[in-house]
Amino acid sequence: MTPRKTALKTFAVLSAAALTSGVCASAATASPLAFSEMQANAVSNATQVAGSLGATSGGIYLENGKAVVNVTDDASAQKVQAAGLTAKKVKHTFAALTGVKNSLDAVKNVPQTTWGIDTKTNQVVVKVYDSASKETADKVTAAAAQYGDSVRVEHRTGKLELHIADGDAIQNDQGRCSLGFNVTRGGEPFLLTAGHCTNLGGTWAGGDVSGATVVESDCPDADSGLLTRPNGTGPSEINTGQAITSAAEPTVGEQMEKQGSTTGGGSGEVTSVDESVNFDVGVLNHEFGTTAHTDHGDSGGPAYDGSKGLGTLSGGDTVTSYFYPLTLELSSYGLELA
């Protein structure tokens, strides 16, 4: 492996066999890139159709790689079906769910809770961990109860943790994380990782990178951090040469891959978008939840779908892993993929 690719060891390609779990038989024989392209086309078409519905759209999600468009009336269902897509009649519009989610964001100082939109169930899902104080649990549950069946409350065991601990990708004298994406700004090379990692300051090293210093660090609210790359350049690609050529918004139901220095490669499914996750350090906004398994040391590692970059890992519990969207990181720092 070249030094350049060693520096990118937070990426990996998942085999086609690993992607077949939970997907339809026709997709089971497809390569990961072909399945990724299928998902991308499905999202693009469904987003266009959903956008034409206006106030009657309930949002979209993926089911076995195929798009489903939520609608609130029969006329819209017919329009979706005429476009060759699957329609699902739901009660709540996507705009209404977004409004509920934004209203819940006004509930502050409630660590060990989260809320985000699950278009598959047509609800805002609120998670309350048993590590939350009784006062916090009661406060969040009461707030959720105001919105009836547009909100579902789940009680989770365990504790939300930001994943920063033993790992072997990038480190300084205070902690270890995982490298995310190689990026550029004004033609200069940089390294993108999690903000709760770069909040530690200092200089970072890993692979062929040494003496990397913190340029940007945002956490809480966001969770993104930018490091210099003083040892040369390298493209945004996984360590087998698979290019990451674009950044994309995650979609509920989307099959994704991840890589981290502790747990390595793996796959999962996007389960929520625009989630507000109340870690002990503060709220991280706009996260997306996945079923991918991650652990301490994986922080900053990438979530991706084929050649599309989706986000960098913040943390999670034993069931759900949360990532901060790559699209927001690129736009907020004025970056491009290398």
**What residues are labeled active site?**
196, 223, 299
Amino acid of residue 186: G
How many angstroms separate the CA atoms of 242 and 250, rounded? Answer: 19
CB neighbour list of residue 75: distance below 8 Å, 6 or more residues apart: 56
The alpha carbon torsion through 238, 239, 240, 245 (nearest 10 deg) reads 20
How is residue 128 written in tokens?
Answer: 């309350």
Closest CA to 265 of 22, 33, 18: 18
How many angstroms separate the CA atoms of 204 and 173, rounded? Answer: 8
**How many degrees, rounded to 5, is the angle at CA 289 between CA 169 and CA 284?**
75
Contact 69, 57 (CB under 8 A): yes
Is the Cα dihedral 107, 111, 112, 116 positive or negative?
A: positive
SS3 content of the chain, % helix, strand, coil (to 5): 25, 40, 40
How is residue 192 written in tokens?
Answer: 């993108």
Could you write out the DSSP letters of every residue in 40-51? HHHHHHHHHHHH
How many angstroms separate the CA atoms of 222 and 201, rounded? Answer: 17
How many angstroms separate the CA atoms of 239 and 83, rounded? Answer: 39
The alpha helices in 11-93, defined as continuous H runs, are 16-19, 25-28, 32-52, 74-82
How many angstroms separate the CA atoms of 148 and 115, rounded? Answer: 15
User: Which residues partner with 83 through β-bridges?
Assistant: none
